[in-house]
Amino acid sequence: MSVDLSAQIANMKVNNLFLNASGIHCQTEAELDDLMQEPVSGAMVTKSMTPQSRFGNPLPRYYRLANGSINSMGLPNEGFDYYMDYLKTHDQIKPVIVSVAGRSKEEDLAMLHTLQDDDSYQGLTELNLSCPNVIGEPQMAYDFPAANDLLKEVFSFYKKPLGIKLPPYFDLVHFDQIAELLNQYPLSHVNTINSIGNGLWIDVNSETVVLKPKGGFGGVGGSMVLPTALANVRGLRQRLNPSIKIIGTGGVTNGRDAFAHILCGAEMVSIGTQLYEEGLGAFERVTRELTDIMEAKGYELLADFRGKLKVIED
């Protein structure tokens, strides 16, 4: 049986639904080249970019856990012009999602104005409203009035495909509220979830935290966040307009995890911590595992089971 893993978000069509999570192997030209030439994944996303380059938070800022990771990276990136120059000077073998993450409303608007006016870029853009590890700055997506004001201004001029990166939500009323807000706008997609902000890990032997920034507080990722990620994909898919697709992110370590994301309603699936730890070979392995599951279940298309999660009836 032939299995089709193709997917589409706005004008972006891919042969394989997998891509890297922003921040993973996508900061430098060499890393972007690696992703572009990797033969399995369907698309790639850039590092969330700020107008100027940033080193990010002080080291150490990443720590491997038995079932995931904790980090406080602080948006290290090479700057907006660096990534736009990359797109103009390199052959795009696969689709690219440009991720922007200004540290203020004004920075977001300035970068989006530049993208709107740049006729050479017609691809997908993702506005990152969830940066839990920038010291002293809140996450825009938890401030619903501020997020609404920003999106209202953005869509007054931005006419190209645009999605947003969201933090995890934990209360059903917040699913209702954010969906009601987002449904007002012609978003191409939402990407959920970013890491679970402000976790803490302690080395008991030394009695110290494991990260230097923010007194040790950092974003939690990896397999331990899978239940939260699935809940956010499911909760938002039930509430968002069908035209707003979902990129499922969080906790994907194998094909079963990816299958669960799709079952909850994800159009595409990104891999973060596992990709960082295993390397780009994770794409081939997870793709093979997902294909095996689909063949065993008799599914030829992702649409055969996407969003068709069963619930226990009385």
26-56 pLDDT, tens digit each = 999 999 999 999 999 999 999 999 999 999 9
Rounded to an integer, the average pLDDT of 118-146 is 88
Q: Which amino acid is at 140?
A: M
Q: Kindly state the tokens that stand for 85.
A: 């120059």
CA–CA gap between residue 196 and residue 223 (Å, rounded): 12
pLDDT at 91: 92
Mean pLDDT (the chain) is 96
Rounded to an integer, the average pLDDT of 175-204 is 98
pLDDT at 263: 98
Known catalytic residues are: 131
Kindly report the pTM of this predicted structure: 0.97
Q: Kindly state the tokens that stand for 117.
A: 């006016």
233-282 pLDDT, tens digit each = 999 999 999 999 999 999 999 999 999 999 999 999 999 999 999 999 99
Burial of 194: CB neighbours in 10 Å, binned 0-12, 13-18, 19+ = buried
CATH for 7-56+75-196+222-304? Answer: 3.20.20.70
pLDDT at 314: 86
Tell me: pLDDT of 220 over 80. Answer: yes
pLDDT at 132: 67
**Residues pairing with 192 in the sheet:** 248
Tell me: pLDDT of 136 over 90. Answer: no
pLDDT at 154: 98
111-131 pLDDT, tens digit each = 999 999 999 999 999 999 997
pLDDT at 131: 77
Q: Kindly state the tokens that stand for 58.
A: 């002080």
CA–CA gap between residue 182 and residue 241 (Å, rounded): 9
Domain ranges in the chain? 7-56+75-196+222-304
Among candidates 259, 257, 261, which has minimal Cα distance to 231? 261
